[in-house]
């Protein structure tokens, strides 16, 4: 259970190239679970989307608890700089993805905007997944009507795949060209 949680947690990972420069060890990708694999363990839960914290973290109210943070499984969006931890992670992503800090934050802000367009606050959603990461966030898929938000953010280019402990892929649309 803990291994699955770490495999999909969206925690800080190694810099690009699959090496953890702090330890010098290669990082092999974990397996990203599918919706079907997660719902075979427990059915998806009907919830209401309260808000998006950023492009890969939702806050939902469910019968199992209010104000649950849902970290989207298997994806990573650029950080939007909304708090100190997000700012720290943006610096790490800038180094890993060979972008400026400002480019990362701009891309993260646009990813946050896009996820809100796909699934607005107050919408009924289904959450597939019950594991928790080391930060206490519930790990799962957000299903908004017919839209699998995790998959859509990757296919739209605002998120990269993230098979922890390997590096998260840089979102295809990052860096965003300046206007």
- Local mean pLDDT, 10-residue blocks, the chain (179 residues): 40 42 64 96 97 98 96 98 95 97 98 98 98 94 98 98 94 87
DSSP 3-state assignment of 146?
coil
pLDDT score at 178: 74
Boundaries of domain holding 68: 2-16+32-161
Cβ count near 5 (within 10 Å)? 20
Residue 123 lies in a domain: yes
pLDDT score at 179: 66
Residue 174 lies in a domain: no
* pTM, rounded to two decimals: 0.85
**How far apart are alpha carbons 110 and 8 in whole angstroms?**
23
Residue 64 lies in a domain: yes
pLDDT score at 88: 97
Cβ count near 40 (within 10 Å)? 11
101-118 and 84-97 helices, crossing angle to 10°: 110
CB 51 within 8 A of CB 60: no
CB 160 within 8 A of CB 97: no
Q: What's the total number of domains in the chain? A: 1
Q: What is the CATH number of the domain that holds 90?
A: 2.40.50.90
Residue 105 lies in a domain: yes
Residue 95 lies in a domain: yes
**How far apart are alpha carbons 120 and 137 in whole angstroms?**
20
pLDDT score at 164: 86
Give how far Cα 37 sits from Cα of 31, 40, 155, 178, Å: 11, 5, 21, 40
């Amino acid at each position: 259970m803990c291994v699955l949680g770490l495999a999909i947690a969206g925690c800080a990972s190694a810099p690009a190239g699959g090496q953890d420069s702090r330890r010098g060890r290669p990082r092999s990708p974990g397996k990203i679970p599918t919706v079907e694999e997660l719902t075979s363990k427990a059915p998806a839960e009907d919830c209401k989307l309260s808000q998006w914290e950023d492009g890969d973290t939702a806050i939902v109210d469910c019968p199992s608890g209010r104000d649950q943070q849902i970290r989207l499984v298997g994806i990573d969006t650029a950080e939007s700089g909304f708090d100190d931890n997000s700012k720290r992670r943006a610096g790490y992503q800038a180094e890993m993805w060979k972008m400026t800090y400002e480019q990362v934050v701009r891309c993260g802000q646009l990813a946050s905007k896009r996820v809100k367009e796909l699934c607005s606050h107050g919408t009924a959603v289904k959450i597939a997944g019950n594991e928790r990461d080391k930060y206490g966030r519930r790990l799962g898929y957000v299903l908004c009507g017919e839209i699998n938000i995790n998959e859509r953010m990757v296919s739209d280019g605002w998120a990269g795949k993230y098979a922890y402990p390997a590096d998260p892929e840089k979102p295809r649309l990052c860096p965003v060209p300046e206007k």
